[in-house]
Every structure is written in C-alpha cells, then in structure tokens.
Structure 1
Amino acid sequence: MITYNFSYAQVDLDKGLQAFDAKNYKQAFSTLKPYAEKGNCLAQYVIGFSYQYGLSVTTNDSLARHWLLLAAEQKQTNAMGPLAANLMSASDEQPDYIIKAYMWAVLAAEYLPSQRMASTRYVIKGYLKPEQLDAANKLIDEYKLKWKDKQNCPQ
C-alpha cells in the first residue's frame, strides 16, 4: 500500500494513488502520468512500476527503467528494488547496468527496511568483477553523500 503525506491538497494525485492502492491500475496510470511528467517522484514510481509489471499498459522494460530511475534519483525508495531487478535483467545487453543494479539494490536495502531482508544485492554482487564492485561502491558512497540531508520521497 502506498501511503502519502502532502502539505498541500492535490486531489487528482490523491485519487490516482488511491486508485493504485485499490488495484484500479488503468485509472491510476492515466491520473498519475501527468504528475510523473511534471517530476512527482511518487507518480514516477507508480508509472515505472506499471510498465515493469504490465499494470494496465504493455510491459516495457525501457520505459519502466526510465520512470523508476527518475523516481529513485529523487530518493523514492520503493522504486529502487524494482529498478535494480530491471537493470540486472538488462545487463546482458548493457553490461554496465550490472554495476547500477547492484548500487540500487544496496541503496534500497539501506533506505527501505523491507528491502533489508531481500537477497537481491547479494545475488548481483556474485556476478560482479572486483573492478565493477569498486565502481559500484564508489557510486553508492556518492549517493549516500548526496542524499545525506535529503528526505526520502513520500512512500
């Protein structure tokens, strides 16, 4: 369930999130897409998740990656795990994706308690060469520093 706390009223955004929680994915997608396009990280997560799992739209890994990345970059923690899985599955075609997949899996576990029990980061780590692991750890440190005083995007 997605919970949210806004200091200002955005009735359509709330309706879109409620539709998503109620599994009315078609209404959620059409209501939230304009918010995602305007940079709302929670809406971007929902749109990316919808593309990743084919909820009211045709599954599209590239569009899922696009929207999940936009959300994750804003510290939308729910987007990080699915983004890691998406990047890992695409790493055969784009070898550098495996570094980012590991990074997002580690960051998901760092910032989202429910991801701490997930084994994704350990599985991905097993595929990394030492130099890739070093590169990923450097990226992780950069994100942690960049996000040091930043609040998580609403859940």
Structure 2
Amino acid sequence: MIAKKVLLVGNFGVGKTSLIRRFVLNQFSEDYISTIGVRVSSKIVQFEKQEIKLLIWDVAGTSGDEKIPKAYFLGASAAMFVFDLSREETYLSIENHLESIRNLSSLKEVTIVGNKKDLLTKEELDAVIKTVSVKIDLITSAKEDDNVESAFLQLASQAIK
C-alpha cells in the first residue's frame, strides 16, 4: 500500500471538513466548527487496482487575504480547492487562490470543487458555473453525499500521477 498526502484548501465555511467527514466517516453535521491550523484524517481507497492510503490534510480556511503556511504544502501529492457555490466571495478570486496553492506546493494540477450544491436551484447553479472563471472539476454536496467520493477518487488519481 502507498500513502499519499492530499490537501483540502479554500475559504472558511466552504465545507472542506464536511466533505472529509462525509468521505471518511459517512457522516454529516449542520454544526459549523472552524478548523484551526490543520486536521489530518486518513482513508484507504482502491484506485486502479492499488490500495492508496490518503492522508487528508484539512487546512484551516482563510478569508482570502491570509497566507497558508508553506509547511502544510510540503510533500503534498495532490490538492483540492473547495469553494461554496452559494457564496460569491469564495470563488470570485479563484485564480489568485490557485496561483498561491501552485506556488506553495509545486503541484501542476489542483482539483476544483464547488460544494453546497443543495443550497441552489438548477438555474442558480448554472449561473454560478458561468460566473466561475476556471473549469470546475466537480460539483458536490457533502450534505446529500453527492459526488463526494468522486472528488476524493480524483484526488487519488492526481496523487499517483
């Protein structure tokens, strides 16, 4: 089995911890508890006939201007940038966030995930997708367990490239 460090980054309150809880424990809670610093979880996944232990680093959210410590990015094999589909401020400056992540981690690819799909109508979701300036890899809902496993399997795929 191989172990790979993967990161979840994004603004505060976008649902990074909820995505991880749904993926690792198959649980969801409406309670919001802010992550301080970083929290590490793990889960073993099967991907392309190999067992991969994902060491999932839940990096504390920012309000956009704060810098994430470079040490969190050391040794990362993949990263997921999560934004809240219902909060414009979490995706308007997405290119700046991605550039920062790439600079800190040296990763070429970052998986882009729009979370909290359950809070929008189909029309609102379509409008957000048109507004976001980069290609969104997956639209998820931790609450409804929609596309959560797919998002982490995409991270696993990135991590072993």
* TM norm structure 2: 0.30
* TM norm structure 1: 0.31
Q: Which has the larger radius of gyration?
A: 1
